[in-house]
Amino acid sequence: MNDPLPTNDPSPSPTTPAQTAPDQKPVDPKLGKLKSAILYVLIGGLVTSALISIIAILIGEFNSVITKALLTTFVFVTHSLIILALVSADRNNSIGKAIIPSTIFVAIIANMFTTTLGTWNIIDGDVTWRAFLLYVLAVGSSFIVAGALRLRIANKATNAAVYTTAGSAIALTLILIPWVAAPDAEWLGPLYYRLVAVLAILGATAFSLSVIFNRIAVAANQALRQKVQPKTTAVGGMLAIYVVTGFIVGTVWLYGAVALIGSAASSDEPTYRYEESRQPY
């Protein structure tokens, strides 16, 4: 009998299933190319700004033009470093897909341009500050909307409350734009501030109901957890960016809430004085 001799070949037999690597999220090549293009643009702008500043210092005297050139370089350097940190921390290519990182990314780019325009007095300094507050308003709203959407499950009451929260946050953001851009506008009367208060109360109530309905539905039917699509969680550098950004946005929002209450209180003064003047002595 010619029995086959045993071999020491470690390669798997044709009938043995080959081991597969753990599933990994596919990387979108378009987003990778877009990030690279944006970084190259920032590098070009940074180098150009630095060269202009160096030439201005070498051939001219130290005046307001050189000061503005140096400030422009500082603006480009700081914003470029922030963008680089954000892109480097984005391991899941969430920029362009997720609400929070996309809003932060756009806000940084927009603030870099408006700050540069303000540095060269192309736009007023107050406009630059108001634009920064608008960016903070948008980023804060993205945190609220993203947080509310994470509460979605296969439950009608929960989803209704979630979408009401998101809609109220978006509507409140849009209606606050005139106040942030021009807080002293005469047409921002008591009716405007009452509408802001209504949207704020509606959003806060809807968010609370979203949490309550979510807990009740999950407690009653544990199978709802399996029906929800897995959500990506920020870890590492992106989590640190979220924490720092959230702290800055929260601080500015707290200051803005106090200022908004003060504006609302002062908006009633002309009406009160007019009615008081009509009373007989």
pLDDT tens, residue by residue, 213-261: 999 998 888 777 655 555 556 667 888 999 999 999 999 999 999 988 8
pLDDT of residue 17: 44
C-alpha to C-alpha distance for 2 and 122, rounded to whole angstroms: 93
Are 45 and 178 in a shared domain?
A: no
Q: Report yes or no on 273 lying in a domain.
A: no
Alpha-carbon distances, residue 217 vs 55, 149, 152, 153 (angstroms) = 66, 16, 11, 9
The DSSP call for residue 28 is -
Which domain does 85 fall in, by range?
30-89
Q: How far is CA 3 from the centre of its chain?
A: 71
- Assess if residue 1 is contained within a domain: no
Q: What's the pTM?
A: 0.75
Residues whose CB falls within 8 Å of the CB of residue 83, separated by 6 or more in sequence, listed in order? 38, 39, 42, 105, 108, 109
Q: Is residue 104 located within the same domain as residue 149?
A: yes
Question: Does 232 map to a domain?
Answer: yes
pLDDT, tens digit (0-9, with 9 covering 90-100), for 176-204:
999 988 877 777 888 999 999 999 999 99
For residues 178 and 261, membership in a common domain is answered with yes
Residue 18's pLDDT band (boundaries 50, 70, 90)?
A: very low
Residue 271 burial class via C-beta count within 10 angstroms: exposed 0-12, middle 13-18, buried 19 and up: exposed
54 and 141 co-located in one domain: no
The band of 22, judged by pLDDT with boundaries at 50, 70 and 90, is very low
User: Which pLDDT belongs to residue 188?
Assistant: 81
Q: What's the domain count of the chain? A: 2
- DSSP letters spanning 63-130: SHHHHHHHHHHHHHHHHHHHHHHHHHH-TT--TTTSHHHHHHHHHHHHHHHHHHHHHTTSS-HHHHHH
Greater pLDDT, 77 or 173: 173
> Is residue 277 in a domain?
no
Q: Is residue 49 part of a domain?
A: yes
